[in-house]
Amino acid sequence: MLTLIIGNKNYSSWSMRPWVLMRHFAIAFSERTLRLDSAAFYEALAALTPTQTVPVLLDGDLVVSDSLAIVEYLAESFPQHAIWPQGAAARAHARVLCATMHAGFTALRGAMPMNIEARLAGLGWNLAVQRDLDRICALWRSALDSSGGPFLFGAFGAADAFYAPVCARLRTYAPALPDFAEDYVGRVLAAPAVAQWCDAARAEHDYIAADEPYRARAG
């Protein structure tokens, strides 16, 4: 049985991606949650990966400690599932979107950290964040126009799982978005696996000050 090690569902955007993908495709796994920014978190991960980050996928003695690498491993291990879209061009396009999310949008990440249970409308916006939002919307429009939707490459897949944390951020901070992007955010957040993660995040009630920059300052 696969084991997926994750952080708090309310805050851990990196953990959300493979968890949502595995739930969506009904890939069996056990889940282990480590509280972010705790001594136990770093002690547990130090024995597994020098990066000491989540998510971590365990498959027997194999340790895969990067969200994009986990997705690729799942795609190879479970080829019966359409984790990546059909067709070489579509797969390349989807990988571009995932890699861009994986490596970029640092302004958005920094100013609008994932906090699913919060409603912080109007906070976090600045011109650098808007540039990231414009790029994200352009990537979404390109994929949706090519595939015809409803998700980025037709059916829900790796690219949608990678942008699910962005959709959660956009619901939390509520910046202005084009109508097509608002509609896409709504579809992603309504997807059963994404909704399951978000429901569990709202039920955690585990406040971590380091992940609450706005409310920590207000307090």
Answer yes or no: are the C-beta atoms of 96 and 163 closer than 8 Å: no
The verdict on residue 208 lying in a domain is no
Quick one: tokens of 215?
A: 């409310």
The verdict on residue 214 lying in a domain is no
Look up the pTM and report it: 0.96
The verdict on residue 219 lying in a domain is no
The verdict on residue 52 lying in a domain is yes
Q: Are residues 192 and 92 in the same domain?
A: yes
SS (H, E, C) 95-110: HHHHHHHHHCCHHHHH
Q: Are residues 190 and 149 in the same domain?
A: yes
Who's near 144: CB < 8 A, 6+ residues apart?
152, 180, 184
Q: Are residues 65 and 123 in the same domain?
A: no
Average pLDDT estimate for 125-153? 98
Answer yes or no: are the C-beta atoms of 74 and 83 closer than 8 Å: yes
Quick one: tokens of 111?
A: 């100013």
The verdict on residue 211 lying in a domain is no
What total of structural domains would you count in the chain?
2
The verdict on residue 213 lying in a domain is no
| CATH at residue 151 | 1.20.1050.10
* Residue-number span of the structural domain to which 114 is assigned: 88-200
In the chain, DSSP finds a helix count (H) and a strand count (E) of: 10, 4
Answer yes or no: are the C-beta atoms of 176 and 1 closer than 8 Å: no
Sheet harboring 2-6: ordered strands across? Answer: 29-33, 2-6, 56-59, 62-64
Cα 94 from Cα 143, distance rounded (Å): 8
The verdict on residue 183 lying in a domain is yes
**Domain end (from 81, 108, 141):** 81
The crossing angle, in degrees rounded to 10, of helices 158-173 and 192-204 is 40
Q: Are residues 100 and 189 in the same domain?
A: yes
Cα 88 from Cα 194, distance rounded (Å): 27
Q: Are residues 95 and 181 in the same domain?
A: yes
Q: Which long-range contacts (CB under 8 A, 24 or more apart) does 30-33 make?
A: 30/1, 30/2, 30/3, 30/4, 31/3, 31/4, 31/6, 32/3, 32/4, 32/5, 32/6, 33/5, 33/6, 33/7, 33/8, 33/9
Q: pLDDT tens digits, residue range 159-206?
A: 999 999 999 999 999 999 999 999 999 999 999 999 999 999 999 999
**Domain end (from 28, 55, 81):** 81
Q: Are residues 104 and 62 in the same domain?
A: no
| CATH at residue 10 | 3.40.30.10
Which pLDDT score, from 0 to 100, does residue 8 have? Answer: 98
Residue 19 pLDDT more than 50? yes
Q: Are residues 195 and 108 in the same domain?
A: yes
Q: pLDDT tens digits, residue range 53-96?
A: 999 999 999 999 999 999 999 999 999 999 999 999 999 999 99
The verdict on residue 209 lying in a domain is no
Share of the chain above pLDDT 70, in %: 98
Q: pLDDT tens digits, residue range 96-109?
A: 999 999 999 999 99
Q: Are residues 165 and 137 in the same domain?
A: yes
